[in-house]
Structure 1
Amino acid sequence: MKIRVKVLRFNKEVDSKPYYKTYELEVDESAVVLDVLDKIKWKFDGSLTYRRSCRHGICGSCGIKVNKKNVLACKTRVKDMVEKFGPTLLIEPLSLKVPQIIKDLVIDKRDFWEDEKRIKPYLIAAIDEHPKMEHLVTPKEVEKLEEAENCIACGCCYYECESKSENRDFIGPMALAKAYKFVADVRDRAKKERLEIVDELGSGVWDCVKCQACIEVCPKDVDPFTKITHLHNEIFEEGVAKKNVATKHAEGFVHSIKKHGILDEGMLVLYSEGVNVVRHMPEAIAMFKKGKIKLPWQMPKSEGLEEIQKLIEISQTHELKG
């Protein structure tokens, strides 16, 4: 199979800006993108630099961007990419920010690891130095982790995250998925401490914009978005939630659905922000003109409202405040 590969090249020690270099080569139909990079390096250009290690989707080292999607080079079949995008592959590093690119496809991931450190990514427990038996965890207790332990810290979700790209303080989906792993681990004794960390406005779970890009790019099906949702619930259930615009937004959402069966967007903002809602008046007027929000007496009720209310009562695990 003959393919054309455009690879981003940049060496911060000698180049003023990145550039693309094109290679044409033949590869076997069973080849993965890592095979392509290896062939370029070994047969065409020994200066090409990228990270790799296990080749089996375990170490997470070979995370790159192929045709604008974050993937593991060792798990991504060339044939699949060609069928989807045509015979030209565009290969770039996970981050396209020049200061972050060290050389070619290798980036400085210090921001990634520093954000992980913020959630204390290790088991915190009173450990008997001379145990008489192992600490058994039942299969049912393991199920609560929902495979969060499968994260290989490849960075694919982190460098795809819309929240992280706009808000550098946001801790990122990988760290939050890992925080959930320890929150759900019955052996850990720092549940509330971690929940307080991820409850912070500006950096924690409330700043996820729910774009769900992390689900699409995760090569291990960890689904960080669902873990973030679980952390929302845990924050309320453990009494950690602070009274602020984020938690009031979550509570207001439930109030609205419970009252109407559908979302009252105007009242949701009022409930969340109180008197500060006046700053949104231009947007509110525009939404009202478009029929996006309605006056209180205009709000319709959903069909089957009683059933919706019963479902909320059954599933609700904490009392709303106010």
Structure 2
Amino acid sequence: MAVTISIEVELAWGVHDIDERAHLSADGGPERRALRRLLDHCDQVGVPVSFDVVGHLLEGDCDGDHDGPHRDGWFDADPGTDPERAPLFYAPDAVREIRDRSAGHELCTHTYSHLVCGPADAETVGWELDRAQDGLRALTGSETMSIVPPRHSEPDAETLRDAGIEITRVSRDTSGNGKAARARELVVGPHPVFEPRLVDGVVETYCTSYPSLVSSTLPSGQRAPPAPFRALPVGVRQALHRRYLSRAVDAAVESDGDCHLWCHLYDLANDAQWPPVRDFLTELANRRDRGEVEALTMAALNDRVRARSRAAVADD
């Protein structure tokens, strides 16, 4: 039984191609404070997180010109400055802080510029992954084996393998169960349990199509929650999500399965989302310490899945 937590760190790169920033702050301050608060608590309870970082955020500065094989205009939103003048496009400070914490966090790639990989050609995806690996190698001394593809748009396995990627997060859309069932799942669960699998040489760990570490009924960063939920008191919505997260771990334990919870960093950049997440991280640590469940990064999950695969082959 394992719980994996992944958090997407993308800031303005997450929407640079669609220019929708209602969920973001103006200067990246709330997002950085949310990250620090999360890192402090993870240090206290010893729970590691897989942070999926857009590679350009590692840049200390740039001129805005990039030599990739992208479509015309892809980098038009890049301000070509530095963290002081454009803190939503450059965040090496935040990534270094993740690297330096004691909880054993993992730095994954979220591509270099938040590329939607599915429609892109292999050359462009390969350029993105190589450039992102260069940044991580410069920061940490090593490459990553883990990717969270932007907007759940999967690259092909060969391109991932060529870039040294061994594990990817894949979403499973459960909205086809109907509107009522979908609303119930979002508010009270149960969070689905998906077993990770080794597919074409790449481990796939499965998650929901919606951010599950945070609540859909609460604000998403600086953006208000959907209107139907606003009539409920915030405390009630927080309690419902706290129960949702506990039940997600219960389901993993009862099924001897795995649970992958995720969100964006900006989701946590408000005071409403944080209390249920904070209390859940404490509960997860306590249940781990009692031997009920493991808390694994994507890299650790990759090692476990591959070890089991080798054992199964040997038994045959």
TM-score (norm 1): 0.22
Structure label with greater radius of gyration: 1
